[in-house]
Structure 1
């Protein structure tokens, strides 16, 4: 099972789990294709967008786990 941490690069997450894109869009990351957003860590994105990093990590990891079980 893949485990996403606060240091994981968003581009890497989108490459291995593209179904997580709506989670990033929901926190205001609307330009997921631009190099700067794809190069940020989860923690950096949360700081910029004022989001609790642990809450987002839980949502991402839950979504990935659910799709791995299908």
Structure 2
């Protein structure tokens, strides 16, 4: 999977059956991955709320998925 700033958080989680991306989100302070916001919120929106660099998170997630 390729993650962009427009990718919905839930889409990322649903495309990762091993849930190895979860620690990446948790390390950035995004702890409510199961909340309703995650089902409609983009990476960029979540990063804005949590004060996280969206480009850095996208890079980390894409690196993770590239090595699956």
Question: Structures share a fold, TM > 0.5?
Answer: yes
Answer whether contact 2:9 2:42 (CA < 8 A) is retained: yes
* Residue matched to 1:7: 6
Answer whether contact 1:29 1:37 (CA < 8 A) is retained: no
* Residue matched to 2:39: 38
**Root-mean-square deviation over aligned CA pairs:** 1.0
- Provide the C-alpha distance between the structure 1 equivalents of 2:47 and 2:33, rounded to a whole number of angstroms: 14
- Provide the C-alpha distance between the structure 2 equivalents of 1:25 and 1:53, rounded to a whole number of angstroms: 14
Q: Structure 1: 5+ residue runs without aligned partners?
A: none
Structure showing greater radius of gyration is: 1
Q: Structure 2: 5+ residue runs without aligned partners?
A: none
- Count residues with an aligned counterpart: 66
Q: Displacement of 1:38 after TM fit?
A: 3.0
* 1:5 aligned counterpart, secondary structure: coil
- Provide the C-alpha distance between the structure 2 equivalents of 1:22 and 1:38, rounded to a whole number of angstroms: 18
Higher helix share: 1
